[in-house]
Structure 1
């Protein structure tokens, strides 16, 4: 592997790591948003989120 190709591979790996970290942050925020939205809708409809017993 040439020096240039090696530097390109290192740079690409850093970019992939950065992109992965941003995706993880986004997914975490999205999950928090969905949880909050679900809780708000349940409160509006007066639905229990913890337990739903079906008999």
Structure 2
């Protein structure tokens, strides 16, 4: 493979990698929000004071 082909492949691949990274960040945010909401809902069902519990 020539340097020109490698450069062209890299240029073409970078936007795809950036798009994949952005999608992963969005997914992780949604997942974290879901887990936090789920944790709060379960704590409410069990009547646990989530903010007062401190684990060291």
* TM class by smaller structure: 0.7 to 0.9
Unaligned runs of 5+ in 2: none
Number of residue pairs aligned between Structure 1 and Structure 2: 52
CA distance in 2, matches of 1:32, 1:52: 20
SS of match in other structure, 1:51: coil
Distance in 2 separating the partners of 1:52 and 1:40: 16
- What residue is the counterpart of 1:28 in the other structure? 29
State the TM-score, normalized to the length of structure 1.
0.84
Give runs of ≥4 in structure 1 deviating > 3 Å. Answer: none
Q: Which runs of 5+ in 1 are unaligned?
A: none
